[in-house]
A = this chain, B = another copy of it.
Amino acid sequence: MILASRPTGIAQAEHFRIEEAPSEHLGEGMLRVRNSHVSVEPAMRGWIADIAGYAQPVPLGAVMRALAVGEVIDSRAPGYAAGDVVIGWLGWQDEAVVSPDAVVRKVLESDLPRSLALGILGINGVTAHLALTRIGQPVAGQTVLVSTAAGSVGSAVGQIAKLLGCRTVGITGGAAKVAQCLDLFGYDAAIDYKAGDVGAAVAAACAVGINVYFDNTAGKISNAVYPNLALRSRVVVCGTASIPAWDPWPSGPRVERHLLVKRARMEGFVIFDHMSEYESSVAQLAEWVRAGKLRYAEDILDGIEACPDALAGLYRGENAGKRIVRLG
């Protein structure tokens, strides 16, 4: 699945095209991987935008950058053999020929579904775990507020905060996701941002203030949250899903006075800075999953041709869990 043109706002199906290509030559030091599941995630908007973000833009005409999980079917790289299951930067394609640099890790949790390597045991889960603990620094008894609370990162944040002894409040869109937050992910309270005054709902649900705001949205939701920060609170800036485009750059209420009056801290988190802690984080997450303490939702579609609209659909808010496309 090729990036055919660069959208200015949300990518749609017409920005991609399918190409069939002969099987690539397997050079020395390379792996051939048959992908079984490819990831679809909000950050892709940034990867295909033509502005320098925290990653170089995907070139036009190239296979769309994506994490995927698959099985090594042929290896000319030391340390890898046919049959190994790997998660890595394998792209939106059925078969990938890559160097080991593209591999994030071998998937060792053969007792758990392989697709989890793209969600709760993958970048989403590790991001939730490390961003919450390293930047958010929650303390037992404190209130942790999560935006996109039912999403693949947010739902893990809420549960991990709860495991750490915090009170958790989620913000999500629609009654079904509110129910999912309360019933599946164990939030102490959940707010439907589509149902009325978010600021009033946040103030009511976080009466003594928000100690950690784990934000995946920016935009209007954050505008409603900032006035409710507690003294010395931490804002984890993990994503900006509610902003469809940064060109032109959007405005919002200034944050400086909130940060000053509350002596609050706001800090960005990008998982690529924390890869040295990835393996230990996955081990912790897998332990929680096996113990039934960390739950997840998946939204699995089928076939490579489903990818572009699956991405556009994320921004329509239609997914009910970590969006994955299953191949072959």
A243 contacts across to B, CB distance below 8 A: 254, 256-257
Give the CA-CA distance A103 to B259 in the complex, in Å.
27
Closest residue of B by beta carbon distance from A272 = B263
A260/B239 contact (C-beta < 8 A), A253-B251, A254-B249 known: yes
Range for the number of chain A residues in contact with chain B:
35 or more
Q: Which of B238, B246, B266, B268 contacts A262 (CB 8 A)?
A: B268
Nearest CB of chain B from residue A309's CB, rounded to whole Å: 26
Nearest CB of chain B from residue A317's CB, rounded to whole Å: 19
Number of identical monomers bound together in the oligomeric complex: 2
- Check A260 against B268 for contact (C-beta < 8 Å): yes
Interface residues of A in 214-256 (CB under 8 A from B): 215, 218-219, 222, 237-240, 243, 246, 249-256
- Check A238 against B222 for contact (C-beta < 8 Å): no
Q: Is there a chain B Cβ closer than 8 Å to A265's Cβ?
A: yes
- Check B257 against A264 for contact (C-beta < 8 Å): no
A267/B268 contact (C-beta < 8 A), A254-B249, A256-B222 known: no
Q: Is there a chain B Cβ closer than 8 Å to A80's Cβ?
A: no
Give the CA-CA distance A134 to B243 in the complex, in Å.
33
Q: Is there a chain B Cβ closer than 8 Å to A269's Cβ?
A: yes
Closest residue of B by beta carbon distance from A262 = B268
Q: Is there a chain B Cβ closer than 8 Å to A60's Cβ?
A: no
Q: Give the one of A239, A251, A255 with max B CB within 10 A.
A: A255
- Check A267 against B270 for contact (C-beta < 8 Å): no
A265-308 contact mask (Cβ, 8 Å, vs B): 1 or 0: 11111100100000000000000000000000000000000000
Q: 14 interchain pairs (CB within 8 A)?
A: A52-B261, A54-B260, A54-B261, A218-B256, A218-B257, A239-B260, A251-B251, A259-B266, A263-B269, A263-B270, A264-B268, A265-B265, A265-B268, A266-B266
Interface of A with B (CB < 8 Å)? 52-54, 215, 218-219, 222, 237-240, 243, 246, 249-270, 273
